[in-house]
Chain A
Amino acid sequence: NAGVTQTPKFRILKIGQSMTLQCAQDMNHNYMYWYRQDPGMGLKLIYYSVGAGITDKGEVPNGYNVSRSTTEDFPLRLELAAPSQTSVYFCASSPRTGELYEQYFGPGTRLTVT
């Protein structure tokens, strides 16, 4: 049971480039989330998904896209990277059953856009 995994761990992008941050979970959780953490700040929700085929915007969705074709995977796509997207990105999942509201986090991806 690997929990929530994220790849890559680090990435440097040039302005205007695109990339996909990968996230996978092996806990059969329905709910998955993408957060970003800027220096000295808490996490902010980018997008979330309540199940395969269903996604919705969070607090800061501009410049990002997501898809959820399977229960396990929830990739985050950055199109036309900008310096403002320099951040640490966290993926999380949750079972959303009964009182099990805990979100399980991946180790994060540190992204720098220069």
Chain B
Amino acid sequence: AQTVTQSQPEMSVQEAETVTLSCTYDTSESDYYLFWYKQPPSRQMILVIRQEAYKQQNATENRFSVNFQKAAKSFSLKISDSQLGDAAMYFCAYQEGTDKLIFGTGTRLQVFP
């Protein structure tokens, strides 16, 4: 079965600095999607960024970018110029062709002024 592992329960970063959140996954599939979701205290799940496995180029959305290493089954999230509003739980998720999302256990990100 596919699994998603986030080995950092908590991370902290100073405002304006850069932080990287780690995610690894296990699958025998070659075609899949990977996502990073943000969950602020409001509990709302917000899509941050997504990556198609067949694309070699790393996805980027403004201050958020990923380092996708398909062979290593690694999908890390880099947040540049961190802002206080970035403080939240971040979940890595893997999606199979049948559209089932499999989530990691999350990383709590604290941002200090």
- Chain B residues, Cβ within 8 Å of A94: 99
Number of contact residues on A: which range applies? 20 to 34
A105 touches B99 (CB 8 A): no
Q: CA separation between A103 and B91, bound complex, in Å?
A: 14
Complex CA gap A48/B100 in Å reads 8
What class of interface size applies to chain B in its complex with A?
20 to 34
- Name which of B52, B99, B106 has the most chain A CB atoms within 10 A of its CB: B99
A88 to B105, CA, bound (A): 15
A43 touches B103 (CB 8 A): yes
A interface vs B, CB < 8 Å?
31, 33, 35, 40-45, 48, 50, 58, 88, 90, 92, 94, 96, 99, 101-103, 105, 107-108, 110
- Given contacts A42-B91, A43-B91, A102-B50, whether A90 and B103 have CB atoms under 8 Å apart is no
